[in-house]
Amino acid sequence: MKKLMKGNEAIAEAAVKAGCRYFFGYPITPQNEIPEYMSRRLPEVGGCFLQAESELAAINMVYGAGGAGARVMTSSSSPGISLKQEGISYLAGAEVPCVIVNIMRGGPGLGGIQPAQSDYYQATRGGGHGDYRTCVLAPASVQEAVDLTQLAFDIADRYRNPVMVLGDGMIGQMMEPVDMDKSYRPAVDLADKIWAANGHIPTPGRPRSIINSLFIDPKVLERHCERLDAKYKKIAESECRWQEEMLENAELVVVAYGTTSRVVRSAIRKCRQQGLRVGLLRPITLFPFPTEAIRNTLGTAKCYLAVEMSAGQMVDDVRLAVNGERPVHFYGRMGGMVPTVAEIMDEIRKYATPYQKTPAEIALDSAIDEKFQSVTDAVGHILQRTRKKMKATGSGK
Amino acid sequence: MAVVFEKTELLTDLPMHYCPGCTHGIIHRIVAEALDELGIGKTAVGVAPVGCAVFAYDYFNCDMMEAAHGRAPAVATGIKRVCPDKCVFTYQGDGDLASIGTAEIVHAATRGEKITAIFVNNAIYGMTGGQMAPTTLPGQVTTTSPNGRDVEHCGYPVPMCEMLATLSGSAYIQRVSVHDVKHVKAAKKAIKNAFAAQMENKGFTMIEVLSTCPTNWGLSPLEAVQWLKDNMIPAYPLGVFKGAEA
Ligand SMILES: Cc1ncc(C[n+]2csc(CCOP(=O)(O)OP(=O)(O)O)c2C)c(N)n1
Ligand code: SF4
């Protein structure tokens, strides 16, 4: 049965359903409903919620709990995520799985508390120091926030890597109907974490565990980094997700994710009704970015438009995908301002003109019209003749 | 033949990287022996710091995690919440615990986190080459206090035991030294007390061990031991600050 839920609470419940039993966090708007929900809910299922003294401590508690083999999550919003970056780098370096939720708000600095998408670079480029990536999932609805939170735990465990659910204040705060009864089973065997440092008695098959990201010998560190890099490439190959809408014959492809993609979708539907050939490509994973999906639209696309609640960050990935073969335009709002449908329609109209028929198409059209007319004339003739005959013979009675 | 001496099982056979005369090695040994003798060593989980003891995960023969600089108490908290029956300990230097990691240690203590912090105070940043630590004594020369620590300019040494003992969550807090055999034995007893208190779920436990850094103090190992005795003990009095000695 569908239930009306706030995005933040739905994310928290989805995590519990996914077997997350540990949560460490520090309050910050607009994600407070996640820790609040967890503080009530986790004790009910034998788990542990702990309010940390800072985001720094929270992410390191996550590192400890994840290192001990638990499914563990933390959540925060932009300024808090900045503080977590050191820990995320260690989690990636030591290959400890966990889920990090960022309900983005406007920045830089303390910024504001309204929705924004200005942490895209930080999320998709690693964020902290060193050569690493986190997998980044960007929900555009409350239901998708639920599904992606659960997927995040699976991806984290499958690759032993931190996974980020990147929402914005709108996704976190809005209420939508969600199906929480969908059955979920972890895609990996959670009892199988033989690498975990949980105080197990060592055996020949399972020696003592060392969770570590220090490799003092550069040759060894390079090998470690190469192995990590190969893992990120595998994630890129296997975990890329996106959604296409009205892309058939789209001359203008709009790329947008999260809350922005919903506004863009409404704008595109209206523009299509007005004859504009425009479509939407919505990245669901931001790392890996759906580069191939974008390249597949080059056949029809004359240009691209990235719409974001930022000064233009994801647009760089669109440009990399398009690789200079088409113009890539950008429209953004910042500081917690959400673009409106009308604004985006205006933007679309700048780059997509109503469809103009080619001379060949015009010729084909009139040929069809002529043919149709002659068939109509012929059929009319026959009907007239039949009518006259029926009248003359009285067979209509 | 009768066995007269045996190395504790809880230390690996790897040669330690510590400088000659550094007392980090002694402290490793007594921590390992204490865990072994209590019968909780094999299933203990340790957290290594950033500092000279960064390779502690190579030496303690149990499950180990390497933490970011100062964050060991938070990492240990995560482990302990998942494994409440296991002995969880951190091994941290003074820069790690008393400077960059003050928030983590204070809050682990105030939460009564059932972990044990082994706090190695050598009054200097050993690993990075002898810079001033929060525990550096007034007047002590380091590479970043070349004229001696001027308290007017950069304040006073931090007495961690005294501070943490005031918190309701701390259960056992003691400062010990390892500058001679008698004190090494007392230090081992203190460490055992702390681990025992942890396993009885009494709350947060910490043993501060005064330690030498001959390399960065610019002294021979013998001089370093003497310097510790003459200068550190007066500034950092030994004793139990919280809890009852077993
Ligand atoms: C975030 C961060 N800042 C600084 C460092 C550099 N660093 C490594 S060890 C260390 C000081 C360690 O001193 P201490 O904790 O007293 O331990 P000791 O080496 O004396 O045993 C510092 C500052 C680091 N690794 N990480
Ligand atoms: S630098 Fe100092 S603390 Fe570090 S190993 Fe050498 S003597 Fe010990």
Residue ranges of the domains in chain B? Answer: 24-242
Cβ–Cβ below 8 Å for B64 and A211: yes
Residue A380 sits in which domain range? 360-397
How far is C-alpha B222 from the chain's CA centre?
Answer: 21
The pLDDT of residue A172: 97
Cβ–Cβ below 8 Å for A200 and B75: no
Cβ–Cβ below 8 Å for B107 and A53: yes
pLDDT cut 90: percent of chain A above it? 90
Cα A65 to Cα A71: distance, rounded to the nearest angstrom? 8
Binding site membership of B142 for ligand 2 (Cβ less than 6 Å): no
The pLDDT of residue A354: 78
- 3-state helix, strand, coil split of chain B in percent (to 5) is 40, 20, 40
Among B45, B102, B105, which would you mutate to test the A interface (most chain A Cβ atoms within 10 Å of its Cβ)?
B45
More confident call, A357 vs A142: A142
Residue B183: CB atoms within 10 Å:
19
Q: Is residue A192 part of a domain?
A: no
Residues A230, A246, single domain; the answer is: no
Write down the number of H helices and E strands in chain A: 13, 15
Cβ–Cβ below 8 Å for A53 and B104: yes
Residues A175, A292, single domain; the answer is: no
The pLDDT of residue A359: 85
Residues A150, A114, single domain; the answer is: yes
The pLDDT of residue A390: 87
Q: Is residue A171 part of a domain?
A: yes
Residues A366, A345, single domain; the answer is: no
For the cut 80, the answer to whether the pLDDT of residue A50 exceeds it is: yes
Residues A164, A307, single domain; the answer is: no
Ligand 2 atom with the smallest distance to the CA of B19 is 6
Nearest CA to ligand 2 atom 1: B126
In this prediction the pTM is: 0.93
Residue A369: CB atoms within 10 Å:
10
Cβ–Cβ below 8 Å for B82 and A65: yes
In this prediction, residues A47-71 reach a mean pLDDT of 98
| pLDDT tens digits, A62-89 | 999 999 999 999 999 999 999 999 999 9
| pLDDT tens digits, A251-308 | 999 999 999 999 999 999 999 999 999 999 999 999 999 999 999 999 999 999 999 9
Least confident of A93-102, A126-135, A368-377: A368-377
Q: Which of residues 46-65 of A touch B (CB under 8 A)?
A: 48, 50, 52-54, 56-58, 60-65
Q: Is residue A270 part of a domain?
A: yes
Cβ–Cβ below 8 Å for A202 and B42: yes
Quickly state the pLDDT bin for A12 (edges 50, 70, 90).
very high
Residues A219, A368, single domain; the answer is: no
Q: Is residue A199 part of a domain?
A: no
> Which CA distances in Å does A139 have to A216, A256, B45, B217?
39, 12, 37, 56
Cα A276 to Cα A273: distance, rounded to the nearest angstrom? 7
Among A208, A216, A217, A224, which would you mutate to test the B interface (most chain B Cβ atoms within 10 Å of its Cβ)?
A208
Nearest CB to B74: which of A48, A57, A199? A57
Cβ–Cβ below 8 Å for B68 and A210: no
Binding site membership of B114 for ligand 2 (Cβ less than 6 Å): no
B38 touches chain A (CB under 8 A): no
Instruction: Specify whether the CB–CB gap between A64 and B64 falls below 8 A.
Output: no
Identify the CATH class of B24-242.
Answer: alpha beta
Pocket of ligand 1, beta carbon within 6 A: B 50-53, 69, 93-96, 120, 122, 124-128, 133
DSSP string over A12-81: HHHHHHTT--EEEE---TT-THHHHHHHHHHHHTT-EEEE-SSHHHHHHHHHHHHHTT--EEEEE-HHHH
Binding site membership of B216 for ligand 2 (Cβ less than 6 Å): yes
Cβ–Cβ below 8 Å for A57 and B65: no
Q: Which of residues 72-101 of B touch A (CB under 8 A)?
A: 74-83, 86-88
Nearest CA to ligand 1 atom 24: B69
Quickly state the pLDDT bin for A190 (edges 50, 70, 90).
confident
Ligand 2 atom with the smallest distance to the CA of B17 is 5
Cα B54 to Cα B44: distance, rounded to the nearest angstrom? 18
| pLDDT tens digits, B114-173 | 999 999 999 999 999 999 999 999 999 999 999 999 999 999 999 999 999 999 999 999
Across chain A, what does the average pLDDT equal? 96
Instruction: Specify whether the CB–CB gap between B43 and A191 falls below 8 A.
Output: no
Number of structural domains (chain A) is 3
Residues A160, A261, single domain; the answer is: no
For the cut 90, the answer to whether the pLDDT of residue A47 exceeds it is: yes
Q: How far is the CA of A280 from the centre of ligand 2 (A)?
A: 60
Nearest CA to ligand 1 atom 5: B69
Interface ipTM: 0.97
Residues A168, A286, single domain; the answer is: no
B199 touches chain A (CB under 8 A): no
Picking from B41, B116, B27, the residue whose alpha carbon sits closest to that of residue B73 is: B116
Residues A21, A103, single domain; the answer is: yes
| pLDDT tens digits, A203-228 | 999 999 999 999 999 999 999 999 99
Residue carrying the six token digits 């296991």: B86
The 3-class SS string of B51-69 reads CHHHHHHHHECCEEEECCC
The pLDDT of residue A397: 55
Cβ–Cβ below 8 Å for A210 and B66: yes
Q: Is residue A135 part of a domain?
A: yes
**Closest residue, chain A, to B88 (C-alpha):** A199
For the cut 70, the answer to whether the pLDDT of residue B246 exceeds it is: no
Residues A231, A306, single domain; the answer is: no
Residues A167, A269, single domain; the answer is: no
Q: For residue A14, give the CATH number of its domain.
A: 3.40.50.970
Distance from CA of B181 to the nearest CA of A (A): 31
Nearest CA to ligand 2 atom 8: B22
Residues A227, A250, single domain; the answer is: no
Q: Is residue A143 part of a domain?
A: yes
Is residue A30 reached through a cis peptide bond, with omega within 30 degrees of 0 on the bond before it? yes
Phi-psi region of A19 (alpha: psi -120 to 50; beta: other; left: phi over 0): left
For the cut 80, the answer to whether the pLDDT of residue B24 exceeds it is: yes
B26 touches chain A (CB under 8 A): no
Instruction: Specify whether the CB–CB gap between B134 and B95 falls below 8 A.
Output: yes
Which of B23, B69, B118, B137 to mutate to test ligand 1, by most ligand atoms within 8 A of the CB atom? B69
Cα A151 to Cα A240: distance, rounded to the nearest angstrom? 12
Picking from A203, A56, A218, the residue whose alpha carbon sits closest to that of residue A128 is: A56
| pLDDT tens digits, A318-374 | 999 999 999 999 999 999 999 999 999 999 999 997 777 788 888 898 999 899 999
Q: Which of residues 70-129 of A touch B (CB under 8 A)?
A: 70, 72, 86-87, 90, 94
Q: Is residue A74 part of a domain?
A: yes
Q: Is residue A204 part of a domain?
A: no
Kindly tell me the burial class for residue A180, based on how many C-beta atoms sit within 10 Å of its own C-beta (0-12, 13-18, 19 or more): middle
